[in-house]
Amino acid sequence: MLKEPVSVYINWAAYDELSDNVELTEALALRQLDELIRLRGLGVRFDYYLMDAFWYAPDGAYRAWRKPHWPNGPDRWLERCRAADVKPGIWVTANTLCKMSCPPAWRDSFDEQRNACCCFYGGFLADYTDVLHTWYERGVRAFKFDFANFLAAPEKLRQVMLPSEIRAANVTAWRGAMKAFRREHPDVLLMAYNGYEETGTQQGTGLPLTKGLDLRWLEVFDSLYCGDPRPADVPAMNFWRAKDVYSDHLVRVYEWNGLPLKHVDNSGFMIGTTGTCYYRRTAAWQGMLILSLARGGWVNTYYGNLDLLDEAKGRWFARVQGWYLGLQRTGVFGTFGAMPGSEAPYGFSAMRGDSGLLAVVNPGQTPADLPLPVEAGARARVLFSDAGFVPQITGDARQPQGGTAASPSAGRAEITIRLGTEQLALVGVGEYADAAHDLGIQEDVQIPTDSRLLAEFTGEANARQVSYTLAAPPRDGHLRIVMRQRDGAGPLRVTGGSPPKGKSLGKILVIRAAQDGAELPVAIAYDKAIWSGLSWAVGEVACGGLKPGLPVTITCTTSDVRPLTLSGAVYAVQP
């Protein structure tokens, strides 16, 4: 098992064969290795390079690499990793068949209904573990196990065993085989992905919380991931902040389930030019990096196009990563504030004694205060934040905006930070509360300087449209319109499918505004083909172009045909 934190580059999102049609090739993989080596020269730490899905030949039982994409197999990649002192890793499914045919040695284990192999019957598991040993001997030191299906069993077993019995037997057999593999290769890094949680654990950010983790997986794995990055069920004008909130919330869910933070792989840092990351490139990447590190996992994963990080970005990356990796090794990480899905402020703490870093977020639509978990007399300073609203730290005595605060009182200090709508900030405490540690402003995320609720409205059950007329709209700033759809269980996501052919959410969840019979422009950021779906929409109307004294009618429409309830809210925001 891990003795200290590690950094793992995973090349998914530089290509994407599920939510896009960009294929993995040797040329693409080696190009990203060149970029990894370049960034290491700037101080960024990468310990592993993991080859993600679909490197394998469909008929090769994970022993052969796909052609013509890899004409000479993995030899060049493995050798260049060794030369650069980078540990190679590979993605494999646990027991499902994903874009591959069933090998002869696995056929007596195969469950055609589930397209997966039984782990406790037939030849699958012995041959599968032999594959892992083979790649270990070739230098592979990390394995990412995905798409486990522990209900798989041949038809003759499904006729005489309960599903619960099949699952228990599969889990016992698979876990035993992996424990034996780890005993033989104690230096290997094992990462769990889809299938090791109960159904529904990763689906959304609604409350209440449910138990869904078997902590015995820690006998095998160094980390359990908490879900592919996707927008939360928390509305946000800035689409990328909604993705931050999702990963923040799922880390808290896994923590609530009893998983120590150091074992949670949040998979939250993903830059790239493909559909899996919604073509974000490096939009809002700085806040994404801070949160991915602040969540405290010892398996720090970085996905996507490393070529998008130029020298300036690379040096900034190295600086923040260096701080957090040091704190991961010797500090204590924790969480504070509300659950992110509640839309109230929250944070992640990384402290060594009375010094450290606090990453804080306000996911709500109005400014809000968050008490900071610091001791009496501690100094606190805002080191980084989104642009626009200036976060304010206050203690027993009010301090200048963005400055430092300290409390001389005994016990826990009443030091609070005020954050704007949807805002992220990084606070330095103690030795970090110094201007020398300032990281600047995230200019591509603009936070309103003020926001206040004007109205809320709800439609009839199963109505596909809800409207509201604002009699006296503000004369300046913007109207921010928030639309939500729910069913009896909570937020209800809808999707038009994955890119490049998927229908964009702007055509499914539609916000319109009109004044004096004329339609008004509505600015939106969610008009994307979103594989994971959305339960909300947010748009803004500029008030400067409105006719004074005339009402504005807002209409929210969904093309989702399921039973649901639509609601909306209108805020007055100042840029």
For residue 139, the domain's CATH number is 3.20.20.70
End residue of a domain, out of 407, 424, 445 = 445
379 within some domain: yes
Does 484 fall in a domain?
yes
- Whether residue 203 is predicted with pLDDT greater than 90 in this model: the reply is no
Last residue of some domain: 384, 413, 445? 445
How many helices (H) and strands (E) would you count in the chain?
Answer: 8, 31
Cβ atoms of 369 and 416 within 8 Å: the answer is yes
**Are 118 and 239 in the same domain?**
yes
Burial class (CB in 10 A: 0-12, 13-18, 19+), 18: middle
pLDDT category at 500 given cuts 50, 70, 90 is confident
Give the pLDDT mean for 110-133: 98
Q: Same structural domain for residues 384 and 469?
A: no
- Residues 236 and 190 placed together within one structural domain of the fold: yes
* CATH code for the domain in which residue 541 is found: 2.60.120.380
pLDDT of 406 strictly over 70:
no
The confidence score (pLDDT) of residue 169 equals 98
For the question of whether the overall pTM of this predicted structure is more than 0.85, the answer is yes
One domain, residues 497 and 422: no
* DSSP for 218-252, written as a single string: GGT-SEEE-------SS--SSHHHHHHHHHHHHHH
Residue 167 lies in a domain: yes
Q: What is the pLDDT of residues 526-558, one digit of tens each?
A: 999 999 999 999 999 999 999 999 999 999 999
pLDDT of the residue at 407: 37
Taking 50 as the threshold, does the pLDDT of residue 336 lie above it?
Answer: yes
Q: Residues 301, 416: one domain?
A: no
Residues 415 and 473 in one domain: no
Domain-embedded: residue 1: no
Are 467 and 496 within one domain? yes
Task: Quote the CA–CA distance of 360 and 241 in Å, as a whole number.
Answer: 12
Domain that holds residue 539: 450-574
One domain, residues 456 and 549:
yes
| Residues 79 and 66 occupy one common structural domain | yes
Report the C-alpha gap between 127 and 148 in whole angstroms: 17
Pair 271, 313 in one domain: yes
Q: How many domains does the chain have?
A: 3
Co-location of 286 and 362 in the same domain: no
Q: What are the pLDDT digits (tens) for 232-277?
A: 999 999 999 999 999 999 999 999 999 999 999 999 999 999 999 9
The domain boundary, picked from 330, 365, 388, lies at 330
Kindly report the CATH number assigned to the domain that includes residue 346.
2.60.40.1180
Model confidence at 90, in pLDDT bands (50, 70, 90)? very high
Specify whether 106 is located in the same domain as 157: yes
Judge whether 256 lies within some domain.
Answer: yes
